[in-house]
Every structure is written in structure tokens, then in C-alpha cells.
Amino acid sequence: MLSHCFNRLFDIHQLHTPRDFVPIANVPICLEIGAGKGKHALQFAQNNPDKMLYAVERTANKFEAMQKLKTDNTPNLFPIHADAIAWSVFALYPKQITECFILYPNPEPHNKNQRFTNMPFFEFLLSRMADNATITIASNIDDYIKESEKNLQKIWQLPFIKNTIPNHSQRTHFEIKYLARGELCQELIITKPTNYKTRFDDILPKHLWDTAND
């Protein structure tokens, strides 16, 4: 299965090494993009002590709040202060991620090409996902969900399920805020099929390029 009908190739060459970048090992991991103050990340790490979660947040004060939540009881939670796009390119190996969470991403109403399934980066992210791994995208913006559904069908050709988030759910600070306002929150859980191909499947993490790819 190919996603080549998505022709705009993500340009991995222009990205610079994230500040204070530390490489990670090539072992299965979970990834949260835009983890905010880390409420979901902490709960996930506590509930899944056998899984390692890298929770990436680019806004300094939110990252600091997440770091404060981390305790000795969550050695499997790794808060990362970085842009998740650059960090992913430098750090991640092909097929490394078993679960990815993008919970209430910025809605980008005036810059829809920054929505995740509209971005060329999404193809790179798919290359880092293991076979049968899942990406969860949650949003309170119906248009964001509908547009993502259309892209998943037409561009990415990926199977997904759509859920309505129950009113009592409290996974993230934004989820709590939106549900308290009575807004409809929905999620798409996308599965990467076995044999799914991307144009980044053979690309190693960029921190290794000097020795391996250049």
C-alpha cells in the first residue's frame, strides 16, 4: 500500500538539531506530540509501566509544568522540550513507535496546512510507526476531525475509527476545558497496516546521518 498520491515530500534536510538534543535507543516507544502540561502523559506512564512514553512539548512553561509532574514512580516518562517535528526527525528510527497521541492540537483555522494530516511531516511520522501501531488524534473542532477523516481516506489510505469522547473524560487540560463548556470532543484512532510504505522507510534518525547517510 503506497501513500505516493501525497506528492509534497517532507523536507528533512532543512531541519536543525534541537537544542540539548539527546539521542534515544532503537527500542519500541510511545510518543505524545504537543503534550501540554503532561496530564495525559503522566496518566499513561503510570498506567503502562512497561511502556516508554516520550512526551514532546515546545512551549517552555508547559514543558516545565510537565517536568514537575514526573516522579520517581514514572521512570518510563521522558518529557522532551522541543519542536516535535525536528525532534522526531533527529531521534526516531523507522517503525519505532507503537502508539502516538496528538491530543487537541492547535486548530490552525487560518493556516490549515499546519494541521497534522495536511502536513508532509505526516508521511514521515507514518514511517516511524510500527506495523499495526496507532495514532490517536483528538479535537473539539468538528472541521479538524472531518478534514482529517477525508485526508486519511483520500490521501493516506489509512483505516481509522472515530469515537465521541465521553463527558466525564479527563485525559488532558484542554479536554477537561472543552467538555466543561459542553463542546463535542472527538478522536480518530488510526492504524498503520502491515506492508504500508512511505518514502522515508529507509531513512535513519538524522543524528546518525554524518556517519551513515552523508
Ligand X SMILES: C[S@@+](CC[C@H](N)C(=O)[O-])C[C@H]1O[C@@H](n2cnc3c(N)ncnc32)[C@H](O)[C@@H]1O
| Binding footprint of ligand X on the chain (CB under 6 A) | 33-36, 56-59, 62, 83-85, 103-106, 172-175
Per residue, what are the HEC states of 48-82?
Answer: CCCCCEEEEECCHHHHHHHHHHCCCCCCCEEEEEC
Cβ proximity to ligand X: between 71 and 170 the closer is: 170
Residue 33 or 135: which CB sits closer to ligand X?
33
CB of 86 to ligand X, least distance (A): 8
d(CA 46, CA 70) in angstroms, rounded, equals 10
Task: Name the minimum Å distance from CB 94 to ligand X.
Answer: 20
- The H or E element that residue 149 is part of is helix 142-154
**Least distance from ligand X to the Cβ atom of residue 121, Å:** 9
Query: Which C-beta is closer to ligand X: that of 81 or that of 192?
Result: 81
Grid cell locating 74: 514514572
Return the number of other C-beta atoms located less than 10 Å from residue 181's C-beta. 8
Nearest to ligand X of 174, 196 (CB atom) = 174
In the numeric block, which cell numbers belong to residue 213?
A: 547517510
Cβ-closest residue to ligand X?
34
